[in-house]
């Protein structure tokens, strides 16, 4: 049985007070989350310690950062290291989100360094892959996603790779309200799993692959019902506790 995961990427939203309230509302409804589903919240860096304190020792939901530095420590003004995240403690970090790739020039090379740094500090990466609209329209989507995987994940040792969570996020579906159909999601997730098997034959079948891109309570059940969709990475809908919990409650 593969892990089932619903992770909320808050992006650059909420003040600390609003983030506390959101976390408290999630905790209030946490008993509605089906057994076996891991819930994760990814607030901004400034909120991590406070929210870790609210979550407490149960680590439910799990806590994720939205980025970490490639460097270990030292003269990198404005950066936050994986060791700092581990000291919160933070159990996960989102890496390779399309907004980081597009606005901050994060290449596959940089992302490999970040993933290795996270893993060396005991943090599980949620590694995002996905194509932009023109790439899908020109039928390049499988090629794009396979290079993102080949240039990053294929460079990891199996012992490290087994801690990775993959998120397929078609860029044209992020924040647009335009979700991939469940057929499109399943087709890509199955492709990713079989591609991962080329390097990690024994592990690909247990790698969680999440879908991200305008996932909401009204479409989560159909997406999560697909055999290779192991949950979701949720942006906008994770900012409302009720919607986030309803998405987590959408597994059959
Ligand atoms: C995301 O940015 O990871 C995401 C999936 O956003 P949204 O759900 O808002 O499309």
Q: What does the pLDDT look like over 2-54, one tens digit per residue?
A: 999 999 999 999 999 999 999 999 999 999 999 999 999 999 999 999 999 99
For residue 126, report the distance from its CA to the centre of ligand 1, in Å: 13
145 contacts 168 by C-beta, under 8 angstroms:
yes
Q: Give pLDDT, residue 241.
A: 98
Number of domains the chain is built from? 1
Q: Report the alpha-carbon angle 199-232-155, nearest 5.
A: 20
Q: Is 80 in the pocket of ligand 1 (CB under 6 A)?
A: no
Q: Give pLDDT, residue 177.
A: 85
Determine which one of 135, 141, 169, 189 is catalytic.
169
For residues 194-220, average pLDDT: 97
73 contact partners, CB below 8 Å, separation of at least 6: 81, 83
Residue 252 in this model has a pLDDT that exceeds 90: no
Tokens for 87, please give them. Answer: 């000291």
Query: Tens digit of pLDDT for each residue in 151-203?
Result: 999 999 999 999 999 999 999 999 898 889 999 999 999 999 999 999 999 99
For residues 85-105, average pLDDT: 97
Rounded to whole angstroms, the Cα distance separating 157 from 212 reads 26
Nearest atom of ligand 1 to the alpha carbon of 176? 10
Question: Across the chain, what does the average pLDDT equal?
Answer: 97
Residue of 206, 167, 172, 171 lying closest to 189 (CA atoms): 167
Residue to probe by mutation, ligand 1, list 98, 100, 214, 237, most atoms within 8 Å of CB: 214
Helices (H) and strands (E) in the chain, counts: 11, 8
For residues 208-235, average pLDDT: 97
For residue 175, report the distance from its CA to the centre of ligand 1, in Å: 5
For the question of residue 198 being annotated catalytic, the response is: no
235 contacts 188 by C-beta, under 8 angstroms:
no
Q: Give pLDDT, residue 178.
A: 85
Task: Print the domain residue range for 217.
Answer: 4-248
CATH number reported for the structural domain that contains residue 201 in this entry? 3.20.20.70
User: Confidence class of residue 59 from pLDDT cuts 50, 70 and 90?
Assistant: confident
Residue of 246, 221, 232 lying closest to 40 (CA atoms): 232
For residue 234, report the distance from its CA to the centre of ligand 1, in Å: 5
For the question of residue 47 being annotated catalytic, the response is: no
Residue 1 in this model has a pLDDT that exceeds 90: no
């Amino acid at each position: 049985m593969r892990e089932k995961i619903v992770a909320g990427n808050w992006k650059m939203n909420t003040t600390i007070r609003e983030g506390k309230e959101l976390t408290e509302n999630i905790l209030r409804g946490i008993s509605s989350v089906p057994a076996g589903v891991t819930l994760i919240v990814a607030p901004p860096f400034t909120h991590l310690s406070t929210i870790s304190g609210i979550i407490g020792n149960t680590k439910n939901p799990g806590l994720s950062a939205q980025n970490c530095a490639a460097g270990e420590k030292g003269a990198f003004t404005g950066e936050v290291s994986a060791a700092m995240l581990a000291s919160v403690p933070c159990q996960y970090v989102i890496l390779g989100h399309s907004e980081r790739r597009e606005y901050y020039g994060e290449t596959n090379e940089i992302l490999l360094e970040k993933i290795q740094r996270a893993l060396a500090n005991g943090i599980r990466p949620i590694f995002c892959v996905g194509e932009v609209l023109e790439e899908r329209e020109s039928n390049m989507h499988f090629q794009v996603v396979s290079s993102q995987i080949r240039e990053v994940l294929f460079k990891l040792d199996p012992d490290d790779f087994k801690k990775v969570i993959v998120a397929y996020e078609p860029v044209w579906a992020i924040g647009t309200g335009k979700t991939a159909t469940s057929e499109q999601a399943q087709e890509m997730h199955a492709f990713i799993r079989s591609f991962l098997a080329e390097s990690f034959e024994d592990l690909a079948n247990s790698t969680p692959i999440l879908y991200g891109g305008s996932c909401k309570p009204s479409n989560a059940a159909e997406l999560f019902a697909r055999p290779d969709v192991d949950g979701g990475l949720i942006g906008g809908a994770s900012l409302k506790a009720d919607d986030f919990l309803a998405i987590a409650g959408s597994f059959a």
